Amino acid sequence: MHPARKSAIAILALLYALLFAEAYLRVFGSRLFGDHGRSYVHRPWQDRLVRGVPFRTNGWGVRGEPFTARSLRIVAFGGSATESAEVPEAESWPARVEWHLNGRFGARAGQVANAGSAGLSSPHYVAHVEELARPIGLDVAILYTGLNDTDRLARYGRILRVERIGDRSYREVFLQAFTAPDPVRLTDIGNPILERSYLVLFVRSFFEKSFVQPLRNRLEDLVPGWHLRDKRARLRASPVFGAVLARAKEDYTHNLTLMFDAARAAGVTPIFMSAPRMSGEPELMALNQALVSFCRERGAPLIDLAAEAPPAGGWYGLGHHFTRQAADATGAEIAAAIADLLEGKRAGGEELRRRARERGLTLATRGDVR
C-alpha cells in the first residue's frame, strides 16, 4: 500500500477513535458505572482495609448498608473527617447519627450512609448532591463543610467556585468518576469549540488533577517555606488578606447556595454543619460566619459546632478528625435536630415529614439512648 494511503487511513482511524470517545463521553456523561449507572464518591462494593480498619461501600459507593424501603434515607457529605476511614464504621460520626436516631424512634427509623472522602470540599458536595439525591431517593443530606476549603484557600489564594451541574453538563463530575477528587472549572481553554469537547475536557482534567496538581502539592510540602502551614502564614501576613477572605466568603456562599438549591429541587432536606473552632484559624472562622449567615437567610437547619464548647477529650484527634467522644456528641446532636424536624419542633421539616409518611413510618418518640 502506498505510504500516503497508509497515513491517510491511520489519520482517519485516529479521527474515528476520537469521535467515538467524544460520543461515548457525551452519551454516558463520563460516569463510573456501578449498579445504578451513576458516578460515585467511592467505587461500589469495596471491601478493603484502610490502616487496618475494614472499609466497605454499598452499591452507591458510600459507606453503609444498602437502603431499605421503610427507613429515612440520610447521607452525610464531607471530607476525611466525615469519611473516618481510620476508625470502624460504627464509630464514625455519621454512624452515631443513625444509632442515636434509631434509639429515639426505634430500630430502622433511619439509615445514615457516609459519603465522606478525603480531600473533598464544598464544590464536590454540589456534584454529589446533584448526582446522588434523586437516584438514591435521599431524604436528608448532612453537609459538613468548610475545613478543606481553608486548605484550598491557603494553597491557591481562593476557594473553588463551581457552576451548576445540569443533566447535560458533567464537567465537575468527570473528576468524580475518573480522576483524583478535585472538580475544576474548565472554561479557560480559549477555543470555544474545544471548550465544548468532552474528550478535551476529560484529557485535560485527568492530566491536571491526577498528575500535575498532586505532584506539585507533594513537592511543595517537601520544600522548606512552601509547606501548607507556611502558605497559611504568608497569606495571613499579606496586605490583601482581608480582600481574599471577602472573596472566599462570597464564593463559599455561592457553593452553599448550589448545594441548598440542588437538595431542595430533589425534595431533600439539607442540614449544614460548621467545623468546630480552632485557635488561630481566621479562614475557618470567616467561612463559618458565611455559613451561619447563609442558613439564617435561607432558613436552613444548622448544627453550629463552631459556637459550642468541646466535649470531654476535645473535638479533634487525628488531624481535624473527631475524637470518639466528639463523634458521639455530634451524632446525638444531629439526630436530635432530625427528630425536631420530624416532630415539628424545628422549622423546615415539612418535606421531611411528608417523606416519612410516604415511607409508612410511625415515628413515636421513645427517648434518646445515650
pLDDT attached to residue 18: 64
| CATH number of the domain where residue 102 is located | 3.40.50.1110
pLDDT digits 0-9 by tens, 12-48 = 877 766 665 555 444 443 333 333 334 567 877 888 8
Does residue 79 sit within a domain?
A: yes
Does residue 29 form part of some domain?
no
Query: Does residue 136 lie in a domain region?
Result: yes
Which residue would you say has higher pLDDT here, 189 or 65?
65
φ/ψ (deg, to 5) at 22: -60, -45
Q: What is the pLDDT of residue 98?
A: 94
Place 217 in a pLDDT band, splitting at 50, 70 and 90: confident
User: pLDDT value at position 324?
Assistant: 92
204 within domain boundaries? no
- The count of structural domains within the chain is 1
Judged against a pLDDT cut of 60, whether residue 90 lies above it is answered with: yes
Report CA-CA distances (Å) from 25 to 80, 174, 214, 338. Answer: 30, 9, 25, 39
Determine, yes or no, domain membership for 364.
Answer: no
DSSP letter assigned to residue 72? E
Evaluate whether residue 183 is within a structural domain.
no
- Whether 153 contacts 231, CB under 8 Å: no
Domain residues for 123? Answer: 58-164+215-358
What would the mean pLDDT of 165-190 be, rounded to a whole number? Answer: 39
Tell me whether residue 24 is in a domain.
no
State which H helix or E strand residue 15 sits in. helix 3-28
Is 126 part of a structural domain of the chain?
yes
CA triplet 351, 357, 359: central angle to 5 degrees?
Answer: 105
Residue 164, Cα to own-chain centre: how many angstroms?
A: 15
Cα–Cα distance for residue pair 139/169, rounded to 1 Å:
24
